[in-house]
């Protein structure tokens, strides 16, 4: 069966510090991968998605970036965090085939920028 991991689970970082959040998927190959952010009490905002190694699509211009160095690894980064980057970051995956629409989420990382 497939599983998705995210770490760290929680993170407190000062403004201006760098960020690296990691997501890995097990039990599947060639997944589509996603990063979402959820501000407190709000819905999910799609940040990035990837359909393959090195292929990243950005949905929202911001000081965040994403990379996919391996098929089942997706990394969210920032060089300098802003207060507005605080939130709950969720990684998700979906099978590549268009016949399957279901999207599965990781446990999330709660980021507080101080």
Partner 1 sequence: AQKITQTQPGMFVQEKEAVTLDCTYDTSDPSYGLFWYKQPSSGEMIFLIYQGSYDQQNATEGRYSLNFQKARKSANLVISASQLGDSAMYFCAMTEAGTYKYIFGTGTRLKVLA
DSSP 8-state class, residue 62: S
Instruction: Tell me: does residue 58 bind partner 1 (CB under 8 A).
Output: no
- Footprint of partner 1 on residues 60-99 (CB under 8 A)? 88, 90, 92, 94, 98
Other C-beta atoms closer than 10 Å to the C-beta of 4 total: 22
Instruction: Tell me: does residue 29 bind partner 1 (CB under 8 A).
Output: no
CB of 37 to partner 1, least distance (A): 11
Q: Which of 91, 90, 99 is nearest to 68 (CA)?
A: 91
Q: Are strands 73-78 and 19-26 parallel, antiparallel or unpaired?
A: antiparallel
Residues in the interface with partner 1 (CB under 8 A) total 23
Contacts with partner 1 by CB under 8 A lie at 32, 34, 42-44, 46, 49, 51, 57, 59, 88, 90, 92, 94, 98, 101-105, 107-108, 110
């Amino acid at each position: 069966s497939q599983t998705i991991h995210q770490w760290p689970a929680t993170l407190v970082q000062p403004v201006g510090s760098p960020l690296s959040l990691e997501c890995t998927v097990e039990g599947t190959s060639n997944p589509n991968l996603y990063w979402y952010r959820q501000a407190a009490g709000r819905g999910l905002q799609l940040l990035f998605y990837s359909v393959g190694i090195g292929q990243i699509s950005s949905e929202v211009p911001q000081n965040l970036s994403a990379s996919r160095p391996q098929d089942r690894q997706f990394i969210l980064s920032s060089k300098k965090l802003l207060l507005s980057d605080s939130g709950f970051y969720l990684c998700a995956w979906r099978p590549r085939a268009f016949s399957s629409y279901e999207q599965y989420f990781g446990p999330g990382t709660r980021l507080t920028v101080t």
